[in-house]
Structure 1
Amino acid sequence: MKTKIITTIAFLVLCSSMLFAQNEHFTVHGTIEFEKNINMFAMIQKQITPENEAFFTPILESYKKTQPQFKKVKSTLSFTDNKTLYRPIVPTETNDMFFSDMAMSGQPNIIYTDLDTKTTATQKTVYEELFMVRDTARKISWKITDETREIAGFTCRRANALVLDSIYVVAFYAIKIPVSGGPESFSGLPGMILGVALPHENVSWFATKVTEMLPEPKAMVMPKKGKVVTGKELTETLKQLMKNWGPWANAQKKALLL
């Protein structure tokens, strides 16, 4: 009798688990709104060296008096059929006239990613020139942790990685959005990336809203304008462009290659 009771309970638990799994909801298409936060005070401070401090320190102090510490810009990520399109939202107005040419503080990319073929098409603005970077999606060696965080109504798990050999990345992905994409060129986790922080670069991207609605066809159109190059060719172009820029070049190159 006791064995029958245990068997019955086990069967009921199994059925309940299966029913719960069947009713569990996953988001497979929609649009995510992101906010990029840039700590401008810290970012500018890093560009000051003993050689230029007499010039830049007064400018930074003036900036602090007239501008907020954190610059905020917005973007969207539309996704459907295992394809994503990341697009910045152009601000209607800005009071940030200082250091507007710092690449990390802007949003130079429109990125179309095909997660099935693992390819990307990136329309990238490099100062006055427009490039179309066609390449394979960046391979990132993520290390998944047990830490979790709530972002835009989704429970997300943390993962860490290095990109471009030296940029430390903290990302948070949602398993209930089973699309291996994310903002900018960050992807490759078992769920949509809803948060990215580059602690040493003083910048982050976090989702503020997820709308589960099939994107309009025009929202998924791959960018086509720009000089066609590969990622390697763009890297060489930036090296040549910035070869005489001194310490300023490293931060600019990293931002433009993300």
Structure 2
Amino acid sequence: MRYLNLIKTISNWPAYFAHKYNLTTASPAVFELRGGGRILVPREVMHEFKEVFFDEAYLAGMPLGVKEGATVVDIGANIGAFSVFAATRFKGCRVIAFEPDPVNFAVLARNAEGVPARAITPVERAIAGSAGTLVFHRGDAEGVSTSGSLVRSTGEKITVEAVTLEEAFAAQGIATCDLMKMDCEGAEFDILYGASDAVLARIRQMVVEIHDQGRGTRTRAAVIAHLAAKGFQVKDGMHHLLWAWRAAP
């Protein structure tokens, strides 16, 4: 199924095997999308790219369909793999992609330019429980990083600008979010607990990677209880993901 998805979504799919078997040292890899456009994938995030495009990890078990013209919010967009995937999978959708790491964001911005109709709006901001200038740790990566975090303290330290979920929705004119993907290395707790009832009510469904810290409210069970109390139905997904959605009225 993984390679079937590869062939189904990537027109120059043999290029993937050239990278897989080290027949080329080019980085980033350039994949042409059958849905139109292209995506640049640095070697250090090839695994994460495969999870999105080959495994369709963020869609596995999705409880609600995504309608034409939907609004998708990508929190922790990294290089924009999921943003590009969503923009080419869901017809006429609008994707707002938030990424605070400047190295990652530079690739995200280029990938947004490669999608037809400029369907992706890249925003160089972190989403957090409170707004302002915050300390962000990039991890140990020299290039694109997959472990940058507002809550962990390893690797290079930089400052980034952060906004709350409510501020992000207001700035981008998001009345309803049809699908929100969140993978932000532990910041999900502050974001979800800090979000107002009003902004949560505007989210139809979300898929969240939970980085369970095993204490207090920073656990998977605590997030499930919180979202259920806010009117969401909740279920476990693959790859440490959690689905939450609102039943149709």
TM-score by length of 1: 0.24
Higher relative contact order (CA 8 A, sep 6+): 1
